[in-house]
Amino acid sequence: MKKNLIKLASAAMLLALASCGQHNTAPSKGVNLDSERIYGKSRTATPAQLDIQYPEPTSEDAERVNKIREELFPN
C-alpha cells in the first residue's frame, strides 16, 4: 500500500510539473539593451567600442612578449 501511495504521489508531482512548463517563464529584459555606449544610437548601429583602434605592436613589444612566454612556458 505504501509503495503504491509513493508511486501515485510521484506521478502526480511529475504531471503537475509537466503541465506548468509553458507558464513557468518570466519575461526578462536584457540589462544593457538601452545603452547607447554599447549599441550606439540604434540597435542596428555598430557598437561604440569598435571605433577604438589599437596600435600595431612594435618589435620591442614582440621581443618582450616572447621573453615572457619563454619564461612561463619553457620548451
Q: For 23-45, what is each residue's pLDDT tens digit?
A: 667 777 777 777 777 766 766 66
Q: What are the pLDDT digits (tens) for 45-66? A: 666 566 678 888 888 999 999 9
Count CB neighbours of 66 within 10 A: 10
Could you write out the DSSP letters of every residue in 14-50? HHHHHHTTTT-------TTTT-HHHH-SSTTSPPGGG
Residue identified by cell 577604438 is: 52
- Please, are residues 13 and 19 in contact by the beta-carbon 8 Å criterion? no
CA atoms within 13 A on the CB side of 5: 2
